[in-house]
Amino acid sequence: MPSVTLNKKPVTPLLRVLLGALLPAFMLLAAALLLLTYRSTSTMVNNSIQQQLESASARLQILMSSYLNSLDGVLSATAEQPEIAQALKTDNTQLAQKRLQDTLYHRNGELLDLLMISKGGQHWINMSSPLYITRHRLHQLITSPPLYNQWISAELKAPLNTLFTLTQRYPVISPDSGRVIGSLLGGIVLNDNLTLLRQLGQGAENLSIQLILNNKPAGYAYVNNNNIETDIITKILSLQQSYGQYQGHYFSLQPIEINGEVNELKLLLVTDNTIAQQLQEAYGHHTLLALMLVLITALLLSLYTLRLISLPLADLTRFAEKIRRGQHATFSPDRIQEFNFLGNSLESMVSALQQKEQRLTHLFDAANSAAIIIGNNNEIQAINHAAAALFKRSREQLAGTMLSHYFTPEQLAPLLQAIHQARKGNKVDGVETRMGSLPHRPSYQLWTLAPVFNNGLVTAVQLQGQDITRIKQVEASLQLNNLVMANMLEAVMIFDQQRRLVYANPAYHHITGYTLDDKLGQPPHLALPLAATKSVDPWQHIDEQGHWQGEIKCELTPGHISAIWLSIRGLNNEHGNISHYVVVFSER
C-alpha cells in the first residue's frame, strides 16, 4: 500500500503567502482587465440563457415522454384484452363499452380525452369526452392512415374551433385467426389539457411553455411567474427562428421527439427580462472575483513556480506515477500544506479504488449469467466463471483468445452484427446464438450487448448472456407434439372443465366435415352427437370412473349415423380434479 512520509518542516499556507505579497500589487491590473471583460458579458448571458433553455427543453422532453408512456401502457393493455377482440368479433357493443369504461377509470386512463374503437374503417364505439369530439371530426381520425403503435399529432379543423390532438392507434387482433379485426384509438386534446400543462410546468421558473403544431399555438400557454404579453407568442412564431431574442424575451422553439422520432409537435419556451438582469448582475460579481483569481494565479506561475511549486510538484508527480504502476511509493512533501493534503488524498483514493475494484471483480465473477468483455479486435479481455462454464474451458485458457474460435462463421454472424452496433454506442438486446453442431446437442444462448466507454470513446463491448438451451428443447418438443397431432388418423377432441370444445385436430375435420371454428366452445352433444341409447351413456360413465372406451353409434354428419370406436378420458390436475376431457374416435 502506498504511504506518505511527513517531515518536520514548518507548514505555511500557500494562499496566505500569495495574498499577503501579491494582492496589493495587482489591484490596478485587475481593474483594467475587468473593464475589458465586461464588454463580453452580454455574450456570456446569451450563451447561459441558451443553455438554460436547452436544459429546460430536454427536461420537458422527458416529462412529455413519461406522460405519453403512461398512456401507452393503458391503451396497449386495453387493446390486448381478449374481451375487446371477442366483442368486436360478436359485435357486442355493451361488452366493449364496459371494458373501455374500466380503462377510463384506470389511474392513467383518466388522462385520456379520446377513446374509441373502429371496425371496418367505420366508427363503432366512441367513449371520448363529449366536450371535444363531434362526428364529422371523428371521421378525420378514423380514416387517417392506420399507423399502429405510433403517436400522431393532428389538427382537426371545424367551423367554430380547431382541435389539436395527439393520438395513437393499436390493432385489435382476433385470437383465432391472428388477423386485425379493428382498431383502438386513444389520445389527448391539447387545446386545454391542464393536466399535461401542469406536468410540463413542474420546476419551470420564469418560463412560459407553449405547444406548437403547424406553426400555431396548440392550446393555452403555461405561464409560471412570467410577465409576458398575450401576443408575444404569435410575434415570435412569425420570426420562424428556433432560437433568439425578441423585445427582451429569449425564446427556444424545438421539435418534440415521440417514439424516438421527431414529431410535427414543437415546444416553445419563452423567458422575460428577469433572467437576463439577474445573470448580468451575477456575472458582474463573478467576473471581478475571477479576474482577481487569474491575477493571483499568474503571479504564482511567474514568481513562485520554482521555489513553491515546481520541486514539490515534481515529487508529487513521481509519487503518483509509482502509484499508477502499483509500486511502493513514499512522498516527502515540501513545506506547502496543500501538497501534504494531495499526498494524503492520493493514498486514500488508491485505497478506495482498490476496494471498488475488488467489489466489481467479485460481482463480475459471481454473476449467474455469462459475462464477457471483448476488445476492439474481438479478443476476450475478461470473462467470468459462468461464461467459462459455457465455453467449457478455464478462464486462463479463454483470456486473450478470439471470440471467433468458439463459433462457426454462420453462428458468429448475428453476434458480429450486434457487436458492430454496440461499438457505435448502442445497446443491443435479444441476440440469439448457437454453439456446437446439431448432432451433438448444441447449446443456445441469448445475449445482451452494451458498449464500454472510456473518456467518451467505446473501447470495449460487454456481452451478458443466458443459456436458453432448455427453452429451445421445450420449443422443439412442442413443435413435435403439434406435428404428431396434425398427422394422426384418429380424430382428437379436447374439452375444458365445463365440457366446452377447445381443440380438435385435422382428422376431426376429415371425418366429420366440421372445422374447429364451427364447433369451438360447443358441448359434446353438439360437437360429436352420439346416438341415444339406454344401455350406454359414456359421459355419465366418465363422471363415475374417469374414462370410457367402446363402440357406439354417432351422427357424424346430419342424417348419417355411423359406428365409431370412441375413447374418453378425464385429465386430472395437481389437486386431483378433472380439468380437461380428451376424446379420441375413428370410424369402424
Residues 266 and 284 in one domain: no
pLDDT at res. 265:
87
Residues 173 and 252 in one domain: yes
pLDDT tens track for 168-224: 888 999 888 888 898 888 888 888 777 887 777 776 777 888 888 888 888 777 776
Residues 213 and 254 in one domain: yes
Q: Contact at 8 Å (CB) between 51 and 316?
A: no
Residues 113 and 260 in one domain: yes
- Compute the distance between CA of residue 312 and CA of residue 566 in angstroms, rounded to an integer: 99
pLDDT tens track for 489-514: 889 999 998 999 999 999 888 888 88
Give 384-387 contacts, CB < 8 A, sequence gap 24+: 387/465
pLDDT tens track for 500-555: 999 999 988 888 888 889 889 999 988 888 876 666 778 888 877 888 888 888 88
Torsional sign, CA 207, 211, 216, 220: negative
List 215's β-bridge partners, or say none: none
Lowest mean pLDDT among 87-91, 351-355, 481-485: 351-355
Residues 463 and 328 in one domain: no
pLDDT tens track for 17-47: 555 555 666 666 666 666 666 666 667 777 7
Nearest to 71 by CA among 224, 195, 179: 195
Residue 4: pLDDT over 50? no
Question: The pTM is what?
Answer: 0.43
Residues 254 and 111 in one domain: yes
- Compute the distance between CA of residue 166 and CA of residue 210 in angstroms, rounded to an integer: 15
Last residue of a domain, one of 322, 355, 388: 355
pLDDT at res. 1:
43
- Compute the distance between CA of residue 345 and CA of residue 332 in angstroms, rounded to an integer: 14
- Compute the distance between CA of residue 111 and CA of residue 187 in angstroms, rounded to an integer: 9
Nearest to 326 by CA among 284, 363, 295, 354: 354
Residues 239 and 189 in one domain: yes
| Full residue range of the structural domain in which residue 9 is found | 1-39+280-355
Banded model confidence at residue 2, pLDDT cuts 50, 70, 90: very low
- Compute the distance between CA of residue 132 and CA of residue 112 in angstroms, rounded to an integer: 12
* C-alpha distances out from residue 54 to 59, 239, 250, 588, Å: 9, 19, 12, 81
Residue 483 lies in a domain: no
Q: Contact at 8 Å (CB) between 447 and 465?
A: yes
Residues 260 and 310 in one domain: no
* C-alpha distances out from residue 208 to 202, 251, 252, 274, Å: 12, 9, 11, 13
Residues 253 and 284 in one domain: no
Residue 305: pLDDT over 70? no
Residues 455 and 402 in one domain: yes
End-to-end CA distance of the chain, in Å? 90
Banded model confidence at residue 227, pLDDT cuts 50, 70, 90: low
Residues 183 and 211 in one domain: yes
pLDDT at res. 17:
55
Last residue of a domain, one of 470, 502, 524: 470
pLDDT at res. 30:
63
Q: 548 phi and psi, to 5 degrees?
A: -155, 145
| Number of domains within the chain | 4
Residue 481 lies in a domain: no
pLDDT at res. 7:
47
- Compute the distance between CA of residue 550 and CA of residue 536 in angstroms, rounded to an integer: 10
Q: Stretch 379-403: mean pLDDT, rounded?
A: 83
Q: Contact at 8 Å (CB) between 60 and 209?
A: yes
Domain CATH for 407: 3.30.450.20
Residues 285 and 262 in one domain: no
Mean pLDDT rounded to a whole number for the chain: 78
Q: What percent of the chain has pLDDT over 70?
A: 73
Residue 15: pLDDT over 60? no
Q: Contact at 8 Å (CB) between 251 and 270?
A: yes
